[in-house]
């Protein structure tokens, strides 16, 4: 068994992935606010989802589902 842990954003560029998600979901003008609210991945997902829901009037659970980590099918073996 192999366990990979990415503590410093080197195996997966989470920052780029988050910015891509933020722009596609809320538009380029909101990326800075969303990145700040996300705390570079250190803010609890529940807190980020609540902030996003309050600001944009979207479903908090849907945002929380988007923020939860998942493995891309291509990364599984």
Each residue's pLDDT tens digit, 15-72: 899 999 999 999 999 999 999 999 988 999 999 999 999 999 999 999 999 998 765 4
Confidence of residue 6 (pLDDT cuts 50, 70, 90): confident
User: Does the predicted TM-score (pTM) go above 0.75?
Assistant: yes
Q: What is the CA radius of gyration of the chain?
A: 13
Q: If you count them, how many residues does the chain have?
A: 77
pLDDT value of residue 70: 60
SS3 42: coil
* CA 72-21-30 angle, 5° bins: 165
Q: Is 38 exposed, middle or buried (0-12, 13-18, 19+ CB in 10 A)?
A: buried
């Amino acid at each position: 068994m192999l366990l990979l842990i990415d503590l410093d954003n080197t195996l997966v560029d989470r920052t780029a992935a988050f910015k891509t998600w933020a722009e596609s979901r809320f538009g380029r003008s909101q990326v800075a606010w969303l990145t700040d609210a996300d705390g570079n991945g250190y803010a609890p997902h529940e807190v980020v989802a609540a902030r996003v829901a309050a600001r944009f009037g979207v479903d908090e659970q849907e945002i929380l589902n988007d923020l939860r980590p998942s493995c891309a099918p291509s990364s599984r073996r």
